[in-house]
Amino acid sequence: MARSRPGSSLTETRVGLAILLALVAIALALLLQQFRYDPDRYRLGALAGSPSGAPDSLPLPAGTVPVTPQEHFDAVTLSDKIDGRADLYLAAGFQGLRCRRFASSVGDPDVVEACAYDLGSPGNAYAVWSQQRRAGAPDAEIGENSYATSNGLFLASGRFYLEILAARGGAQALLQSRSFAVAFLAANAGATTTAGDAAAEGTMLPAQGRVAGTETLLAKSAFGLDAFDGVHVARYLLDGKEASAFVSSRASPAEAALLASALREALLAQGAQPVAPPAGIPGAWAVDAAGWIEIAFTRGAVVAGVHEADARPAADALAASLWASLQKVGP
């Protein structure tokens, strides 16, 4: 029977103890690292990629305390915050996102989360705000483009789009949400210039029959056409039938004509059938796309038309109204 060499058990024991001590040291180092403050991770600098003048930090309303450190997300990490919606922001010129959570220092423990999206330009911010606007939501009366819901505020101001949400929608938390919005606009007055120019083109859409709150700016790839950007759209209800009108100012009459033609070709390629154009609108065309009527025409450097009309009479009436509206805004 083989016998163990003297001292072999003692050597193995020492090796085992050394390995165990090394593992304990590594574990302690990792634990300490978790509690070490990293100023780069929680820095309060400007939003990554933002032009100069971006906020150094988000304001903390009076009477509130921070619940968590401020968070910052760039184009790579945005989906970590808003998984499923990141593409909308990335397509609209996303530069950076900063969020913070706060709650009342006394009383109501309702937590408010305020997020500021830097989208690079007033047009991009207005596009994101308008595409996500809730139907029937009342004007929050903060700046030119805002609305309120039962638990939040949503604003487009300059190149920023703001979402401010209270977890439970308590009255005190909503007041603090409003205080945050006002403080943000005041602190960033130079960077939150009006988005009025971005919304101004939408005034070319006729008022009669328009469903309030449906005005939207499609910043990119309107109606599936990559080159069709900066398109204002609104829904209409005419004699019980629904339709949308759209309008977009282009760089030149030639570009407007090319876009109108490209839209028709794209619809025909998808199986739409040509139908008679609406009367009284020079150069207009119309197609039937699986029961929906589509119409487009140009006036100068503006391309306009009707999208997804339920019935031909409603489509023709809306096209005529849009054409008349364009006559009022000059050549």
Q: Exposed, middle or buried by CB within 10 Å (0-12, 13-18, 19+), for 186?
A: exposed
What does the alpha-carbon distance between residue 241 and residue 314 come to, in Å, rounded to a whole number? 6
pLDDT of 116 reads: 95
Instruction: Give Cα separations from 46 to 41, 72, 267 (angstroms).
Output: 13, 10, 44
Provide the pLDDT for residue 20. Answer: 59
pLDDT for the residue 39: 33
The whole-number pLDDT of residue 38 equals 36
Query: What distance in Å separates the CA atoms of residue 330 and residue 153, rounded to the nearest whole number?
Result: 37
Q: Do β-strands 96-104 and 64-66 pair in parallel, antiparallel, or remain unpaired? A: antiparallel
pTM strictly above 0.85? no
The pLDDT assigned to 31 comes to 40
DSSP string, 240-280: TEEEEEEEEE-SSHHHHHHHHHHHHHHHHHTT-EEEPPPTT
Query: Per-residue confidence of the chain (331 residues) as pLDDT tens digits?
Result: 444 444 445 555 655 665 655 555 555 454 434 333 333 332 333 343 343 334 557 999 988 999 999 999 999 999 999 878 898 899 888 999 999 999 998 877 899 999 999 998 888 899 899 888 887 889 898 887 899 999 999 999 889 999 999 999 888 899 999 999 999 988 877 655 555 555 566 788 999 999 988 888 888 888 988 888 889 999 999 999 999 999 999 989 999 999 999 999 999 999 999 999 999 999 999 999 999 999 999 999 999 999 999 999 999 999 999 999 998 876 6
Contact call for residues 104 and 63 (beta carbons, < 8 A): yes
DSSP per position, 291-317: TEEEEEEEETTEEEEEEEESSHHHHHH
DSSP string of 57-93, one letter each residue: S----TTEEESS--EEE-TTTHHHHSTTTHHHHHTTT
Neighbours of 329 (CB within 10 A): 14
Q: What number of CA atoms fall less than 13 Å from residue 128's CA on the CB side?
A: 29
Res 2: pLDDT: 43
pLDDT at position 108, please? 75
Q: What is the residue type of 59?
A: P
pLDDT score at 308: 96
Residue 270 makes CB contacts below 8 A (sequence gap 6+) with 289
- The answer to whether the beta carbons of residues 186 and 109 sit under 8 Å apart is no
